[in-house]
Structure 1
Amino acid sequence: MAMEPKSSSRDATVVLDGFSYLECPRWRDGRLWVSDFYTHQVVATDARGGTEVVAEVPGQPAGLGFLPDGRALIASMRDHRILVRDGSGRLGVHADLSGAASGMLNDMVVDHRGRAYVGNFGFDLMGGAPLRYTTLARVDADGTVTTVAEDLGFPNGMVILPDGVLVVAETFAGRLTAFDIDEDGGLGNRRVWAQFCPTPRTDDVGRAVEELDVAPDGLCADAAGALWVADALHGRVLRVREGGEILEEIATGTGVFACMLGGDDGRTLFLCTAPSFAEHERRAAREAELRAVRVDVAHDGLP
């Protein structure tokens, strides 16, 4: 189980504001790419005020990643597709996950070979359906879709560590789960990387929320082998060591749902914040912010 967190006095600054609900930030070639769910836009920023809408995704954008040739992959949540954006900004369909995902597509990580690991909700969270565990899919560079893991409690943020280990946040299980990535892209040696609290044994989402001491959402890795983890229910990001020790806590004073290390030296931690995650509260509001805080250890791994 997780140890008591060590509180931090680091100050975050607002980089951008006026968005609906930001998720899945990715640092790439001097800019941060981020999905804004309910404006259906993917936005890139230089973190100094410059912004560009790099994609319009009617099906609602989520997970982001990049193929080895630099083209961007974008998870289109509601139509279960992975889109590919070419150098001119045109979007095409890279893969259709309709037969592999039981809920809206969620976060995604892309490896150095162009293989994308994609999670999904597993149930209608925003519609009030009972909690259901679900699968993780792999999309190969040619668009082939394969189910590579099952029985995951809302697979969310993912990282690939330099040693080839995939770590997946299971939000409703209160844990981070690790897999070894095989040469062919399969996943093996499943184990718990960090267990923050007992896993709720209920299909009632409200009850599960009450039982979760940490609800891990977006993730990123640093060069010391630790992970920064957005805690979707408690307004904080946690720096966590394998085994569950919490090395540092940064409170945000509002909800925080994803994080990414970037900047010129890899030591700027970008935070996607909003007052809540509920769609009916976020869709018409423009209260989401991208914030940034300086940390001590630089980025490593993927994304």
Structure 2
Amino acid sequence: MVEYLPQPRTLLTGLAMVESARWHDGRLWFAHWGAGEVIATDMDGNAEVMAAGPAMMGWSIDWLPDGRLVTTGPEVTRQEPDGSLVTHCEQGGNEIALDPRGHLYVNGFDFDFLGGGAPEPGWINLVAADGSYRQVADGIEFPNGMVVTPDGSTLVVAESFAGRLSAFDIRDDGALTGRRVWAQGLGPDGICVDAESAIWTQTADTAAHTGDPDAPAGACVRVLDGGEITHRVETELPCFAVTLGGPEGRHLFLLCNEFEGVEQLQAVQARRSARILVTEVPVPRAD
């Protein structure tokens, strides 16, 4: 039986478009699309701009093992201790993830999504410390959120166009092998993993996916390896990204945006209707 989480409360409003949720250094960080900002907020909604981001859609954030912020986009950039931004890797991408050994993964695709280009399968690159990179996976049906399980053994990627989560074994050298389906029949975008290696992801039984006006605008579920769903939460706007954090790691942050198709993105951003919600979960984030 699926358990419903407590009704989320609003943490932050008045945002253009929000994505790439991360809990870092005691605060929630996220990519503020349409404003070109990396923002951090505390549990009371006190927000602060921490860095500049690309003036575009489709970018995300994470941190190198030494604590430097990295941002995707046309290239991967990193923020130096003095606040300056430098190129970390000439090949950018969409989403980003690091494993416990410091392997840096960036995924992306090579067609013009916003311009209506014909879809092509995407890829995952492994980026070395010197900025060089090599492709470690391909054939990804619109790669989106990525996470690594707490033991560092498995990388899971959201394939939005295929409605599934796909898993790879991580070798010692960072190579990805043993591709398999983690869960199917979803609507995955920005995802997160908890201490028990369960993944919070978006579902496909929402109004945007089904065309049913009575369906929820947004819904996220906790799904186990193999597809079993244990928990669920619904939102009044579509949810684009989730992460776990808070003082004890038991808060689920839901980054929600209006969505009326890519042709309406500028109008949606201008309305500043995006919001961040938060609720409580039984299983905390992975350390």
- TM-score normalised over the length of structure 1: 0.84
Question: What SS is found at the alignment partner of 1:284?
Answer: helix
Question: What SS is found at the alignment partner of 2:189?
Answer: strand
Q: Look up the match of 2:144.
A: 156
Contact 2:5 2:280 in 1 (8 A): no
Q: Structure 1 stretches (4+) deviating beyond 6 angstroms?
A: none
**1:173-252 counterparts in 2 under 5 A?**
173-196=162-185, 214-231=186-203, 234=206, 235-252=218-235
Name the % identity: 39
- The offset of 1:89, in angstroms, is 2.1
Report the number of matched residues: 271
**Which of 274, 279, 282 matches 1:293?**
279
Matched, 1:109 2:121: no
Equivalent-residue separation in structure 2 for 1:270 and 1:165 (angstroms): 23
Letter in 2 for 1:88: D
After superposition, the CA RMSD in angstroms is 1.8
Letter in 2 for 1:227: I
Q: Which moved more, 1:167-176 or 1:81-90?
A: 81-90
- The offset of 1:11, in angstroms, is 1.1
- The offset of 1:232, in angstroms, is 7.4
Structure 1: runs of 5+ lacking an equivalent = 99-104, 197-213
Question: What SS is found at the alignment partner of 2:112?
Answer: coil
**Which of 248, 251, 254 matches 1:271?**
254
**1:16-27 counterparts in 2 under 5 A?**
16-27=12-23
Equivalent-residue separation in structure 1 for 2:110 and 2:11 (angstroms): 33
Against the structure 1 CA distance between its residues 114 and 153, is the aligned structure 2 distance closer, same or farther, given a 3 Å change threshold? same
Q: Which moved more, 1:278-287 or 1:135-144?
A: 278-287
Against the structure 1 CA distance between its residues 233 and 171, is the aligned structure 2 distance closer, same or farther, given a 3 Å change threshold? farther
Contact 2:222 2:229 in 1 (8 A): yes
Contact 2:144 2:190 in 1 (8 A): yes
Contact 2:150 2:195 in 1 (8 A): no
- The offset of 1:10, in angstroms, is 1.4
**Which of 89, 92, 97 matches 1:95?**
89
Contact 1:113 1:141 in 2 (8 A): no
Q: Look up the match of 1:85.
A: 79
Equivalent-residue separation in structure 2 for 1:230 and 1:87 (angstroms): 35
Structure 2: runs of 5+ lacking an equivalent = 207-217
Letter in 2 for 1:85: Q
CA-to-aligned-CA distance 1:160-187 (integer Å, 9 cap, x gap): 0023200001011111111111111111
Question: What SS is found at the alignment partner of 1:218?
Answer: coil
Equivalent-residue separation in structure 1 for 2:233 and 2:109 (angstroms): 27
- TM-score normalised over the length of structure 2: 0.89
Q: Which moved more, 1:273-282 or 1:253-262?
A: 273-282
Contact 1:232 1:255 in 2 (8 A): no
Equivalent-residue separation in structure 1 for 2:192 and 2:54 (angstroms): 27
Against the structure 1 CA distance between its residues 287 and 145, is the aligned structure 2 distance closer, same or farther, given a 3 Å change threshold? same
Q: Which moved more, 1:227-236 or 1:168-177?
A: 227-236
CA-to-aligned-CA distance 1:127-182 (integer Å, 9 cap, x gap): 22222211111112221111110100011111100232000010111111111111
Contact 1:67 1:113 in 2 (8 A): no
